[in-house]
Amino acid sequence: MTEPRRPLVAGNWKMNCLSADGIALAKKVAKHVTSSGTNTEVAICPPYTLLGDIKAALAGSDVRLGAQDCHAAEKGAHTGDISVAMLADVGCAMIIVGHSERRSDHGEDDALVRAKAVAAQAGGMTAIICIGETETERDAGQTLQVVTGQLRGSVPEGATSANTVIAYEPVWAIGTGRTPTIDDVQVVHAAIRSALGKRFGDAMAAATRVLYGGSMKPSNAAEFVALADVDGGLIGGASLNVGDFSAIIDACGS
């Protein structure tokens, strides 16, 4: 018997919030998580500038701190970049890598995403590795091919269920209010788990969390997370509203 996977809900604040709003929001999320007693693991990934403040705001709660990206190198001449050690130093436990906005805004490819995931894992972090097809790829019937290709290219050899979370985020569903059908989501998640199993073994695949991301909100979270291979969500827009984020946390847990 394999252990049930603990649901994970991670809020990706992207380039939103200044200190006062961010601190207030994080405190409310922490309060909800503590008072509700949910079994959902919850993480907040604010912009770099707020990491220290949010860490303090989350003190005394079980909400984890995450970053939205990192550099692959340990240190050195990389103006404007942030290393994994710096993120550990400020209290991060998780790092999102390969978000589609990083892939498109900054030209990040699978090799770079994989190098970042290696760095994150080597620094003791859980890497939340994002993959997902564009609308053109979906329309061309290439979803599974694209997603499994990104998985192969972006997930490092040293991946374990403890240091790796996969986030399936169809690019066309991010921030658009559109989502795939639940049947489509389950097909992709099952393909991801099966690909993990072939590469890393069935035990790893059975224990690794695969999140859905892309316009997840209170009204659709429960049906996504009820799917056999969906273990929570990576939440953008709805993570900026405490009511919506709390409702998603509740829907994903018990």
Residues forming contacts to ligand PGA in the complex (CB under 6 A) are 12, 169, 174-175, 213-216, 234-238
Known catalytic residue: 169? yes
In this structure, which amino acid lies at residue 204?
M
b (16+ CB within 10 A) / e for 91-121: ebebbbbbbbbbbeeeebebebbbbbbbbbb
Which residue number, 82 or 216, has a Cβ lying nearer to ligand PGA? 216
Closest distance to ligand PGA from the beta carbon of 101 (Å)? 7
CA distance 200 to 203: 8
Q: Of 103 and 200, which has the nearer Cβ to ligand PGA? A: 103
Which residue has the CB atom at the shortest distance from ligand PGA?
236
CB 252 within 8 A of CB 41: no
Q: How far apart are CA 94 and CA 115, in angstroms?
A: 15
Rounded to a whole number of angstroms, the minimum distance from the CB of residue 203 to ligand PGA is: 28
Smallest separation, CB 173 to ligand PGA (Å): 6
- Closer CB to ligand PGA, residue 1 or residue 15? 15
- The least distance separating ligand PGA from the CB of residue 192, rounded to whole angstroms, comes to 16
User: Which residue lies nearer to ligand PGA by CB, 123 or 236?
Assistant: 236
Could you say which of 41, 101, 133, 169 is catalytic?
169
Q: What is the DSSP track for 51-114? A: HHHHHHHTTTS-PEEEES---SSSSSS-TT---HHHHHHTT--EEEES-HHHHHHS---HHHHH
Q: Is 99 a catalytic residue?
A: yes
The catalytic residue among 32, 71, 99, 189 is: 99
Tokens representing 197 are 């199993």
Report, as residue numbers or ranges, the catalytic residues: 99, 169
